[in-house]
Amino acid sequence: MKVTALIENTAPDAALRCEHGLSLCIEHEGWRCLLDAGASPALLDNAAALGIDLSAVDAAVLSHGHYDHSGGFAAFLDGNDRAPLYLRPQAAEPSWRVRKDGERKYLGVPPELLERRDRLRFVTGPGEIHPGVWLLPHTVPGLEKRGEKVAMYRQGPDGLHPDDFAHEQTLVVLHGTELAIFSSCSHAGADTVVEEVQAAFPGKTVRAFFGGFHLMGAGGAATLGVRPEAARALGERLLSLTVAEVWTGHCTGLPAFDLLRRILAERLHYLSAGTVVRLWEPTP
């Protein structure tokens, strides 16, 4: 399997664009999947610079219904006439950040993307979208408490409520006895995501985890949005869950990354735009 980060908040290579968002191209045994599309069409430029033909992508997945993961999908669909886009039904509901003074910021999917009904495939439960590739919803209760804590709300049929992240899904790739987990923002908690996947696939080991941890502060990538001990505790949990490799960036933030590095050491890697990760390479 080959994973290429097309978009992330940082791009060490000056030839690549970066923005607050995430987009990964996953190639597994001849099948190509685009997980998220960043906040804008910038992924198209980076894909071209990295030699990736997005018109050959077989499927697309929206991890959750936020603009910084869905903003580039309309441009992607314009250039790819066959890949279905898998998303949870709740991703079509407007998402907001609501400040204490009542001011709202729209966080949701661009409305024009939701008009592409011929390309959208709504996933209502656990489902296998390709042999060995699964999409899993959250199963733990009480996630609306996490949504309220970070001032995230969703406009459902009966009004505005704290976000329970029912619009979020985890992509899992199975390879023999090992798993690769993709959880772009891990709103439920990265450790919770790992536990959900392990419950769904008992006896499998986690070779790699890809995604952000939502530990960044409101001031951007240089800020910490949680207490330092909370970031360190997450690192300890991932260590106890025996996750072999962790590739994180985007909403994790640099201070949290540094704290996690002290716990996870060589298991932890930064997933910036242009990063290429290879798993399960055949033995020569």
- In-domain check, residue 283: no
Query: pLDDT tens digits, residue range 35-82?
Result: 999 999 999 999 999 999 999 999 999 999 999 999 999 999 999 999
Residue span of the structural domain in which 182 resides: 2-278
Q: What is the pLDDT of residue 284?
A: 63
- In-domain check, residue 16: yes
User: What is this structure's pTM?
Assistant: 0.97
Per the structure, how many domains does the chain have? 1
- In-domain check, residue 70: yes
- In-domain check, residue 206: yes
Q: How confident is the model at residue 218 (pLDDT cuts 50, 70, 90)?
A: confident
Query: pLDDT tens digits, residue range 8-23?
Result: 999 999 999 999 999 9
- In-domain check, residue 122: yes
At 236, which CATH number?
Answer: 3.60.15.10
Per DSSP, the residues of the chain read: -EEEEEE-S--SSTTS---SS-EEEEEETTEEEEE---SSTHHHHHHHHTT--GGG--EEE-SSS-HHHHTTHHHHHHH-SS--EEE-GGGGS-EEEE-TTS-EEE-S--HHHHT-TTTEEE--S-EEEETTEEEEE---S-THHHHHHTTEEEEETTEEEE---TT-EEEEEEETTEEEEE-SS-TT-HHHHHHHHHHHSTT-EEEEEES--S-EETTEEEEE-S-HHHHHHHHHHHHHTT-SEEEE-TTS-HHHHHHHHHHHGGGEEE--TT-EEE-SPPP-
- In-domain check, residue 284: no
- In-domain check, residue 175: yes
- In-domain check, residue 118: yes
Query: pLDDT tens digits, residue range 112-147?
Result: 999 999 999 999 999 999 999 999 999 999 999 999
